[in-house]
Amino acid sequence: MPPPYPEITAPLRPQQIEDALADLATTFPTLCTRTVFTGKTHEGRSHSYLKIANGTGERPAVLVTGGVHAREWAPPDALVTFARNLLVSFQSGTDITIPAMEVTPLTGPPVRYRPWKIKASDVAGILNKVDLYIFPLVNPDGREFDLTPPIDPIGWRKNRRPPPPAGGDIGVDLNRNFNIAWKFEDYYDLPLYVSRYGEEPAKRTPVGDINQLYRGPNEHSEQETRNVESLLDTLPVHYYVDVHMFGRKILHSWGLDGNGNDPAMSFTNPAFNNKRDGMIAGDPALPLGRTDYKEYLPDDPPHKIRSRAVFIANAMRDEILRAANGGATPPAASSPQQNHSDYEVGPSAFLYLPVGGGPTPGCADDYACSRQFVNPARKPIFAYTIETGHPEEQGFHCNYANPPGHFRKINREVHAALLALLKVAAASPLAPPAPSPRPPNSGPCLIATATMGDAGHPDVVFLRALRDERLRATPRGARLADLLDRVYYSFSPAVARYIEGRPRARTAVRLLVIRPLVAVLRRALGTGKGGRR
């Protein structure tokens, strides 16, 4: 159908999504190409992806996927809407306007959001300089099942692989099926992992798969997984985003383990098989004298992969906040718009700590990141998972009606995050990312850093961001932060030096002070666990 396109007011069925992609390729033939995968799903469905670009030649490529997990309704629909909006804007030369909206959380009063625009000049800059690939629905069989009444409030996560002849449950968790540490019992010291997290990172058999985490009979056993892998293997992808829900989180590499500097500590190195601990730096569960394994992710110039990964993730978070305020600045700290739109940024492996969850093998974003190490001739690949939505927006099954407007808000946030990443891609090659701005009177979290052993530890980053960003977002908060800094730095250097030289003191402060404090603050600020990626 020709534009203008109607607003999506109910979750699209898989065939509707395929029809929408075919329509875009027909309506915008010079800007949009649709490719249908040759393989079909277990239930015989075909699925496809779009390439959106104006021009040819060597350009940065961005791949965006959605719908890996069936019950996550919003991402495929938001990606279809995003593709439509980009194409209409480029062809007509008009801005993309996301209208004002009122969104009602499940608890609490409605929140009003101003209209927000994506400039036509930004759209033109993106399509003229970037090859954008959008694969909105990776798991059509699972989505069709989840959308078929009666709707299960928990939802269906997996695809619809038939159970084996010997018996078991239907389906494979596609985000445990990618060929990256798929055989986790070899990758990790599994007894140590289970003692720390209480369970294995995926299910090895389809029997009793209550949490829907069955990894499949083999790595990339599923057609849906192979489709994504084929794009990452054959296209010159420089940026990859996998859109999930829920939890308001932006996850960057790695998800296998913490990030490290030692090239020998790599998923490609069998010398570390059955020795990788999967624990965050300073975890008291790590046996004494044991080397803490950290998956290699370099931060050397010119690419500075680790720093740039964080830089881009923060850019996506910041654009979501600006969109929530309808303009060039984020909303005021502690305003309803800020409180209901603030995404947490961190590495995939540990962002759900301390409230639960651990490293996860076999995921799409780690497979994407791994391509540059399997083939060192490739350009760096920056891979992300976005967990959009929130329990207050009805979790996986967000409400499309207006009110309450849950899908409209999630759709805006997906647009904002992808806009930020695409603007970065269009500006490639990047200069080295500038250090995050820090107020002049602000310094490192000395005690937390000494206790956790790493200034980049997620708990340290969380505390520093709470002080330097949230607290200083208002004049009153900035004055309070200055007072706290003066008091803190009057004693913290001496305490930090004392802790650094005494392992027992470090452990006591970590277990009795830092971890409980961060857990309480995360829960109070709504940055706890959502859906597992």
- Max CA distance (Å), the chain: 69
Q: Which two tokens stand for residue 310?
A: 């964080």
Distances (CA, A) of 15 to 63, 84, 209, 505: 22, 17, 28, 60
Q: Which two tokens stand for residue 161?
A: 């692989």
- At residue 230's C-alpha, the angle toward residues 225 and 235, to 5°, is 140
The letter for the amino acid at 145 is F
Q: Which two tokens stand for residue 201?
A: 């990172």
Residues shown for the chain: 533
Give the whole-angstrom CA distance, residue 446 versus residue 121.
Answer: 44
- Cβ neighbours of residue 137 closer than 8 Å, sequence gap 6 or more: 14, 17, 18, 47, 66, 67, 76, 143
- Cβ neighbours of residue 75 closer than 8 Å, sequence gap 6 or more: 66, 67, 136, 243, 244, 245, 388, 414
* Inter-residue contact 433 to 308 (CB < 8 Å): yes
Asked if residue 361 has a cis previous peptide bond (ω within 30° of 0), the answer is no
CA atoms within 13 A on the CB side of 286: 17
Q: b/e string for 272-310 if b means 16 or more Cβ within 10 A? A: beeebbbbbbbbeebeeeeebbbbbbbeeeebbbbbbbb
Helix residue spans in 284-391 (DSSP H) = 305-324, 336-339, 364-374
Helix (H) or strand (E) holding 462: helix 458-465
DSSP class of residue 473 equals G
- Token pair 């293997």 is found at 233
Q: Backbone phi, then psi, for 98, in 5-degree steps? A: -95, 115
Give the whole-angstrom CA distance, residue 172 versus residue 192.
Answer: 25
* Inter-residue contact 407 to 398 (CB < 8 Å): yes
Asked if residue 4 has a cis previous peptide bond (ω within 30° of 0), the answer is yes
Looking at 387, 392, 393, 413, which residue is catalytic?
387
* Inter-residue contact 273 to 186 (CB < 8 Å): yes
Task: Identify any residues that bridge with 64 across adjacent strands, giving them in sequence order.
Answer: 134, 241
Helix (H) or strand (E) holding 296: strand 295-296
DSSP class of residue 510 equals I
What three-state secondary structure class fits 67?
coil
- Cβ neighbours of residue 224 closer than 8 Å, sequence gap 6 or more: 41, 47, 68, 138, 139, 159, 174
Q: Is 200 a catalytic residue?
A: no
Residues with catalytic function: 387
